[in-house]
C-alpha cells in the first residue's frame, strides 16, 4: 500500500511517498521550510506544493506538532496559534483534494518505530521521544499507542521540559552535544521514574547525531536511536493514512 507521508515540524516540513506495508520510502524525501508565520493557510499551501512536487494524487497522512483529537488541533506550542480549534483534516483534505489523516507528529514517529523499527515486538511500555524544535512523545503499551501524551510538556526544573532538553534548546544555549546530552539524561531519568518503560527510543532531528551524545545517557532504561531516525514521523504518518482506509 502506498501513501504520502508528511511530517510538519516547527522549522521544517518533510514529505515522501511510503510503502506502508514495509515502511520503505518510495520517493526522494522533500524538505521545505515551515513558513513563518506558520498559519494554517500557509502551511496547507506548502503541503499541497509537496504533493505536487512528488506527483502524488492520493491519500495523505500528516504528522502535526500538537495534540490532535478527531482531526482538530488542540494546542500550538511551536506552530501559529491560529491552529487551535482548526479542523486540520478538513483543511488539508481541501488543500490536497484528497482524503487526509492527521495525527500528532511524535505519535506518527512512534507508529513507524513500533511497526518497523526499534520498538518492534517489545513487550510492556515503550516510549518514543522526538527531539526537535519541541519534544514530542509517543507512549505504547504492548504495541498499543496512548495518543497525544505530551511528555515534552512535563514540568521540569521550573519550566516545560522541552525548553530545557529539546534540540532547539541546545541550539539556543549553544551547547555541545556532550553538554546537551547531560541535560537530556536528566530529563530521560525524570521520564523513566514516572513511567518505568522497557525501552526509550529517540527520534527527531537530534537522533541523527545520537552517537555524539549517547555516552552521556545513564538511565537504567535502554535508550536507542529510532531506526528511521528523523524519517520515522513521515513513515508513521503515511501508515496512519493507510490504516484509516482499511
Ligand atoms: C508539542 C507536541 C509535539 C512536539 C514535537 C510539542 O511542543 O506540544 O504536540 O509532538 O512539540 O513537535
The alpha carbon of 104 and the centre of ligand 1 are apart by a number of angstroms equal to 8
Residue-wise pLDDT for 45-70, tens only, equals 999 999 999 999 999 999 999 999 99
pLDDT digits (tens, 9 = 90+) for 134-148: 999 999 999 999 999
Same domain, 74 and 143: no
* Residue 68 and residue 112 in one domain: no
pLDDT of residue 245: 87
Mutate to test the pocket of ligand 1, among 11, 38, 152 (most ligand atoms within 8 A of CB): 152
Residue with cell 500550538: 76
Q: Which residues contact 111 (CB under 8 A, 6 or more apart)?
A: 138, 145, 236, 239, 240
Question: Do 223 and 135 lie in a common domain?
Answer: yes
pLDDT at 80: 98
- pLDDT of residue 114 exceeding 90, the answer is yes
Q: Please tell me whether residues 224 and 112 are part of one structural domain.
A: yes
The CA-atom distances, in angstroms, between 62 and each of 16, 44, 165 are 11, 11, 25
- State whether 67 and 78 are in the same domain: yes
| 179-224 pLDDT, tens digit each | 999 999 999 999 999 999 999 999 999 999 999 999 999 999 999 9
Cα torsion through 103, 117, 20, 209, rounded to 10 = 70
pLDDT of residue 242: 97
Same domain, 182 and 87: no
Please report, for residues 93, 164, 202, 215, 238, the alpha-carbon distance to residue 209 in angstroms, rounded to integers and kept in the order given. 35, 18, 11, 12, 25
Check residue 171 and give its pLDDT: 98
Q: Do 75 and 20 share a structural domain? A: yes
Tell me the CA–centroid distance for residue 108 and ligand 1, in Å.
12
Question: Do the Cβ atoms of 56 and 4 come closer than 8 Å?
Answer: yes
Alpha-carbon Rg for the chain, nearest whole angstrom, is: 17
Cell numbers representing residue 146 in the block: 496512548
Q: Is the pLDDT of residue 246 over 90?
A: no
Ligand 1 within 6 A of CB of 105: yes
Query: Which percentage of the chain shows pLDDT scores above 90?
Result: 99
Mean pLDDT over residues 8-29, rounded?
97
- How many other CB atoms are found less than 10 A from the CB of residue 236? 36
* Ligand 1 lined by 206 (C-beta under 6 Å): no
Distance between CA atoms of residues 170 and 126, nearest Å: 25
Number of domains into which the chain is organized: 2
Residues 25 and 112 in one domain: no
Looking at the fold, whether 138 and 221 belong to one and the same domain comes out as: yes
139 and 124 within one domain:
yes
Is 72 in the same domain as 127? no
CATH code of the domain in which 89 resides: 3.30.420.40
Q: How far is CA 220 from the centre of its chain?
A: 24
Range of the domain at 13: 2-104+232-244
Q: Do 225 and 112 share a structural domain? A: yes
Amino acid at each position: 500500500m502506498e501513501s504520502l507521508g508528511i511530517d510538519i515540524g516547527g522549522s521544517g516540513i518533510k514529505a515522501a511517498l511510503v510503502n506502508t506495508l514495509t515502511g520503505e520510502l518510495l520517493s526522494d524525501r522533500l524538505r521545505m521550510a515551515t513558513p513563518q508565520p506558520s498559519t494554517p493557510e500557509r502551511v496547507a499551501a506548502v503541503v499541497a506544493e509537496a504533493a505536487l512536487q512528488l506527483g502524488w494524487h492520493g491519500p495523505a497522512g500528516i504528522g502535526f506538532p500538537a495534540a490532535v483529537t478527531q482531526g482538530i488541533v488542540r494546542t500550538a506550542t511551536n506552530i501559529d496559534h491560529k491552529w487551535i480549534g482548526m479542523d486540520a483534516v478538513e483543511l488539508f483534505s481541501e488543500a490536497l483534494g484528497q482524503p487526509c489523516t492527521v495525527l500528532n507528529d511524535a505519535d506518527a514517529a512512534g507508529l513507524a518505530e513500533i511497526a518497523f523499527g526499534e520498538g518492534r515486538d517489545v513487550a510492556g511500555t515503550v516510549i518514543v521521544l522526538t527531539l526537535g524544535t519541541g519534544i514530542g512523545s509517543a507512549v505504547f503499551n504492548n504495541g498499543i499507542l496512548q495518543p497525544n501524551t505530551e511528555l515534552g510538556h512535563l514540568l521540569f526544573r521550573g519550566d516545560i521540559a522541552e525548553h530545557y532538553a529539546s534540540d532547539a534548546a541546545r541550539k539556543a544555549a549553544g551547547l555541545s552535544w556532550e553538554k546537551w546530552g547531560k541535560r537530556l539524561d536528566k530529563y530521560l531519568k525524570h521520564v523513566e521514574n514516572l513511567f518505568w518503560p522497557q525501552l526509550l527510543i529517540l527520534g527527531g532531528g537530534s537522533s541523527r547525531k545520537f552517537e555524539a551524545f549517547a555516552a552521556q545517557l545513564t538511565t537504567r532504561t535502554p535508550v536507542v536511536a529510532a531506526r528511521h531516525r528523523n524519517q520515522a514521523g513521515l513513515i508513521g504518518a503515511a501508515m496512519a493514512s493507510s490504516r484509516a482506509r482499511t
